[in-house]
Chain A
């Protein structure tokens, strides 16, 4: 079991009111799954994502990530868990503007135990089809390319899960599908992918959809026939600029 959450709550105290952003969530994700967490804004899915990402700790409940009890970790150990067990992909790519694509991909290595000699980063860029762009600055890349660099960065430490937060939110349809195609391919190759989104069609690329409402799991169902991103791209009208 990669993710094992038992009765997780997250309560924010604000102005004497307490907000239960996550309210008793129990969740299991096994190795090799492709799970989408879906919910409207304010449903608590972002809070849940932060908890899964070890960016935040729950108010109560237990969370085991790849065999480690996250609630018992101190700040340094949480940092290490983020570094080694989780590959984060954000909606807004979050690349550092002053680093080349290659340097951005290598960034997590600075805070880990592996050495950054460029070979692992080049391999990761190859995985997302951007080896040619290794020395480009983020500003020289399209949104889709930037997001692929971010995915390469998420892969560099060979994490237990890829955790993507609205990864297609800032992209056009084609770039979004290309990103989803990469996630689907990574999942076929055996990686565990957790995707947080508010779009039903994006969520349907996963093999299991968990729906969140008011901080609770409203439904948790497998997807009978996941959408195939590659097939969808093939059906898109040919775009002149992309040939």
Chain B
């Protein structure tokens, strides 16, 4: 029997008892609606984290930071980890740039906390970053006024600085800081640019509370250090980020003569890794709601199985007639399986619609961001089909294996 006819027969069977068909559907509707709304809210939260992580991290670089105490040491995600640790050097950067094929550019970074910055009588303690002009690209962070640090500034150890909005506010008030002279640890710098506002990082620190100077000025003129706080690595092929990160880690381990059980004296982080870290916090909730939807689907499936067994009992005669007229076991099996899948698929589609509505309502009422992805819808539809097959196959088999003679004698 062709698929079209099988579906037509299944539809006929289902439409004979609409209330029963609806009861069969309801578990699947609830399960799928729960699944869809969970995923929508979960992905919405994740998208929000990715967005705020992108604010701090830019979009695609790998960040290598110096650290003394293993990969997870340090209070905030790589940026501050370099303070004090002196394990990364310029040669590491050169090696990364030359020996790892997928690396487009590796840029050095230095940072020092608790630095005093003064303008006339106004003083402020902030963080100072030594950067290169690439910073603007890999962090997508430009100046609001003035100019960015240039290659010339880096080459000439220029005493120029970019200041963040918070620093500008505290030192200059509402006046334009560009062109003024400030003192950084008692060395005079010219304010070359005012950084664009960035707001708060995912873990709550003020990203605008900073001063940035050329990395060479930082290491040779201001502090005389020969190590790096971090190396920002930009890639040729971003899709191979995780693989490249492992290559870099392996190379650094080799260069630093680290063999287990000795811990790494650096950390290699990727934006996806950071996102994973943040996504982890909402995972408990997702897991809980996921279990709820799984139970709803399971119960829905069992209801379908039971109602189908009842229905097959009532339709014994019909099965006998069909068998007597030449239906093979396979034809009967397909007919009842098609009924089950039709119920769960329809329930699944209704559930998808209901789930989207629920997610929308949540986002309106609680201000939660939601993302309804095609993958989630596809997964939900696939799920509902699987439920239909898993819970429909046993009743359908029972129908198919009835003895035709006895079935004809039935109701």
Contacts and interface: CB of A to CB of B under 8 A. Distances in A.
Nearest to B329: A75
Contacts of A75: 328-329
A76 B328 contact: yes
A230 to B, nearest CB: 29
Nearest to A154: B325
A94 B317 CA distance: 8
Interface string B110-125: 0000000000000000
Contacts of B320: 94
A98 B324 contact: no
A80 interface: yes
Interface in B285-340: 317-318, 320-331
B9 interface: yes
Contacts of A83: 325-326
Contacts of A50: 405
Contacts, number: 62
B340 to A, nearest CB: 18
Contacts of A53: 324
Interface residues of A, number: 25
Contacts of B16: 98
B256 interface: no
Interface centre among A53, A80, A94 (most CB of B within 10 A): A94
B3 interface: no
Given A98-B12, A111-B1, A55 B324 contact: yes
Given A55-B404, A76-B330, A94-B408, A153 B12 contact: no
A98 B321 CA distance: 13
A2 interface: no
A96 interface: yes
Nearest to A76: B328
Given A94-B408, A110-B1, A111-B1, A82 B12 contact: no
A80 B12 contact: no
A98 B8 CA distance: 12
Interface in A76-131: 76, 79-80, 82-84, 88, 90, 94, 96, 98-99, 107-108, 110-112, 116
A111 B405 contact: no
B326 A108 contact: yes
A56 interface: yes
Contacts of B5: 110, 116
Nearest to B318: A96
A94 B325 CA distance: 11
A76 B326 contact: no
Given A96-B318, A98-B12, A98-B16, A108 B325 contact: yes
B341 to A, nearest CB: 19
A76 B330 CA distance: 8
A56 B324 CA distance: 10
Contacts of B330: 76
A116 B1 CA distance: 11
B329 A96 contact: no
A166 to B, nearest CB: 13
B318 A79 contact: no
A96 B327 CA distance: 14
A109 to B, nearest CB: 9
B324 A107 contact: no
Contacts of A110: 1, 5, 9, 327, 331
Nearest to B330: A76
Contacts of B317: 94
A107 B329 contact: no
Interface string B223-259: 0000000000000000000000000000000000000
Given A56-B405, A110-B1, A94 B321 contact: yes
Contact of A112 (B322, B326, B329, B404): B326
Interface string B1-31: 1000100010011001000000000000000
Contact of A107 (B322, B404, B405): B322
Interface string A33-75: 0000000000000000010010110000000000000000001
Nearest to B400: A75
Given A55-B324, A94-B317, A96-B321, A111 B331 contact: yes
B152 to A, nearest CB: 83
A107 B325 contact: yes
Contacts of A76: 328-330
A48 to B, nearest CB: 12
A111 B12 contact: no
A110 B325 CA distance: 10
A112 B404 CA distance: 18
A89 B124 CA distance: 101
A50 B407 CA distance: 13
A76 B331 CA distance: 10
Interface of B: 1, 5, 9, 12-13, 16, 317-318, 320-331, 404-405, 408
21 contacts: A55-B324, A55-B404, A55-B408, A76-B328, A76-B329, A79-B328, A79-B329, A80-B328, A82-B323, A82-B325, A83-B325, A88-B324, A96-B321, A98-B12, A99-B12, A110-B1, A110-B327, A110-B331, A111-B322, A111-B327, A112-B326
Given A75-B328, A79-B331, A110-B1, 4 more contacts: A79-B327, A83-B325, A107-B322, A111-B325
Interface of A: 50, 53, 55-56, 75-76, 79-80, 82-84, 88, 90, 94, 96, 98-99, 107-108, 110-112, 116, 153, 157
The 4 closest A-B pairs by CB, nearest first: A83-B326, A111-B326, A79-B328, A108-B325
